[in-house]
Amino acid sequence: MIDKKELLAVCVGQVMQKLQSIQLVLEGYKTDLLSESKSTAGDKHETGRAMLQLEMEKLGQQYQTVLQQKQALQRLDNYATEIVQIGSLVLLNQQYYYLATSLGQVACMQHTVFVISFNAPIGKLLLGKKQGDTIVWDGKVLEIKAVV
């Protein structure tokens, strides 16, 4: 079984890497924006600046989304639960699901874990279930083998 503390640390690490990457790109764009001087091209120059500003706005929104993911992860408790809830690690047939935030696939302790939001379709199906319960997902009946 996967250690939830280690899994949470892996998730936080991934989120921190995303935040740092976005910050680096934003800093590069700011430098580009400040270093551009008015040229004889006129409209071409203004279009380039506008495009940079749009990209910066998009990155700013991405940064806020990733920051919210970090905050969601920081609110999770690591205690074991019997019923699937936010923060639960679920073994469904042979696949692990961690109800935390939408990060996708994460490698932890030589296992692949799908880190999903409780709002994800499968997350909604899992909420409130317990070990031994089944869900129907993608036309297949899946059994909950463990809830941690």
Domain stops at, among 74, 99, 132: 74
Where residue 93 falls (left for φ over 0; alpha for ψ -120 to 50; beta otherwise) is left
Residues 24 and 48 in one domain: yes
Residues 67 and 126 in one domain: no
Structural domain tally of the chain? 2
Residues 55 and 110 in one domain: no
At residue 36, the pLDDT reads: 63
Q: Which residues of the chain have pLDDT under 50?
A: 40
Structural domain includes residue 118: yes
Q: What are 120's two structure tokens?
A: 């994800």
110 is in which domain, residue-wise? 89-147
Which residues have C-beta within 8 Å of that of residue 118, sequence separation ≥ 6? 85, 86, 99, 124, 127
Backbone CA torsion sign across 80, 84, 86, 88: positive
Q: pTM value? A: 0.83
130 bridge partner residues: 83
Residues 104 and 58 in one domain: no
Encode 17-26: b = buried (16+ Cβ within 10 Å), e = exposed: ebbeebeeeb
Structural domain includes residue 39: yes
| Residue whose pair of structure tokens reads 């993911």 in the numeric block | 69
Residues 110 and 139 in one domain: yes
At residue 135, the pLDDT reads: 97
Structural domain includes residue 119: yes
